Amino acid sequence: MNKIVITGGLGYIGTELCKIYSGFSWNDQITVIDNRFISERVNQIRNWNMNYIQGDILDKELMKKYCHDADIVHHLAGVTAVPRVKSESSKENDKKIKQVAEEGTQNILDVINDKCKIIVPSSHVIYEGMEKVKNDILENEKTSPILSYGKSKDFNEKQLKASGKNYIILRLGSVYGYSTDTARIDIMANFFSKMASQDGTLRLFAGGAQVKSLVPLIDVARCFKFMEEREDLSSDIFNLTKDTVTVKEVAEICKKYNPKIILRETNDEIPNMGFSLSNKKILSTGFKFLYTLDESIKEMIFKWSKQDLIKDLEHVRDGDKEFIDERGKISNHELTEPINLIGLIDSKKAAGSLMFSATFTNRSSSKFHHSDLIRLFMVPLSNRILISLAGFPATIEYGNTSLVTTEPIPMTDPVPIDIPCFIRAFCPIHTSWPIITRLLSSLLNSENFFLTLSRPS
């Protein structure tokens, strides 16, 4: 059992990282520390079998109590309400940013043991002082911070390198992507998506020519977990960025999904004309990005826009990109209730076979054992189907019978059930449903079944 501490666990990145760890919290001891108390997030963390502590990283005794014997510390805590340009700076806020970053991080470094691995986010803004546009900046490039936040991250990097501890620094591009009540709307891509969902006007400072390095939120959380698992990676720094785009290009993606918005170029102040970070080093470790800017912007605009809903309680929204052939169809729908219908299998005959395998990223508030891989195998036997659900509790309903599995069903001990049947797994999933339907359509090899998928609301 590993002891894992996540500071800032109620924040933008921390929330997504906790969701990933929800599949491991039944075997590992996970403590989430944050100076805020957000009711729904705390309840969710408790339901995931994680410990929640409301506290501040400036409290050294508190850090000692929970971090002294930790195997892993994901240190995400810090001030996020930071100035973007000099005119937004204030002495009071700059002092707070500096204190939390420097003293808070030192408190953790002072109390963790030598075997503990500490994983810390830095930021691309440590290069905000660059006078000319420069692309593919490597990890060893000389830093040039100007504002308090960039200076604090630059200090943290030097602090970790000098600590003698086992550290990993992930130098993040501008993080984007949908989240719940922790979403950072002040981030450019997210802010543009919000304005697009409101049919607003996107103001492009300096004509939108500024170059930005961007990275998807869920991929950031995935990379923290990736670094925790990679024992061969230590005492190193990695740029973590996926997209290199201009501000105007981001705005144009928003306009693609909502043509009603207006793009207005202005001469407002910007700190620089931009730069981009190289991601060759992180890719060389085997880490793979799974999310795209285009799909993320589409998701944010869609979820924040006015919805044209069907009022039927049983069926709210038709799915898209259905797969239909002579064997049947694969479709997807959204329901009003937060259930996850993994599969509805209707047989045309009492024979045939269906097998599929899919990989999902867990974003659930549910109890299950393996967050990253869900496998469902179905093998025919006379007029029955042998069902094996690996890695998570599930409810299987058929006729008047309901079988609830409180532990994962072993793959070697399948459960026979009559057909047709209804399978509901309590692990809401987040992925691209068109990708799922394409995957299943390629694997659906029986003329006797058709499959209907439904994702949670």
The pair of three-digit structure tokens given for residue 12, joined into one six-digit string: 């933008």
The confidence score (pLDDT) of residue 331 equals: 55
Q: What is the structure's pLDDT at 384? A: 28
pLDDT of residue 209: 87
Please give the pLDDT value at position 272. Answer: 73
- Domain borders along the chain are 3-182+215-240+275-286, 317-455
452 forms beta bridges with 331, 344
What are the CA-CA distances from residue 123 to residues 128, 151, 154 (Å)? 10, 10, 8
Q: What is the pLDDT of residues 106-147, one digit of tens each?
A: 999 999 999 999 999 999 999 988 888 899 999 999 999 999
CATH topology of domain 3-182+215-240+275-286: Rossmann fold (3.40.50)
Cα gap 72→228, rounded to integer Å: 7
From the number of C-beta atoms within 10 Å of its C-beta (0-12, 13-18, 19+), residue 326 rates as exposed
Predicted local confidence at residue 186, as pLDDT: 85
User: Long-range CB contacts (< 8 A, 24+ apart) of 64-67?
Assistant: 64/111, 66/5, 66/31, 66/33, 67/5, 67/108, 67/111, 67/112, 67/116
| DSSP-assigned states of every residue in 65-79 | HHHTT-SEEEE--S-
pLDDT in tens, 353-402: 222 222 222 233 332 222 222 233 232 222 223 333 333 334 433 334 44
Q: What is the pLDDT of residue 273?
A: 83
> What is the mean pLDDT for each group of 10 consecutive residues in the chain (457 residues)?
95 92 87 94 90 96 96 94 77 91 96 96 92 91 92 95 96 92 85 94 89 94 94 96 94 95 85 88 94 92 78 51 60 44 36 28 30 28 30 39 38 35 34 39 36 37
Cα pseudo-dihedral 360, 362, 364, 367, rounded to 10: 100
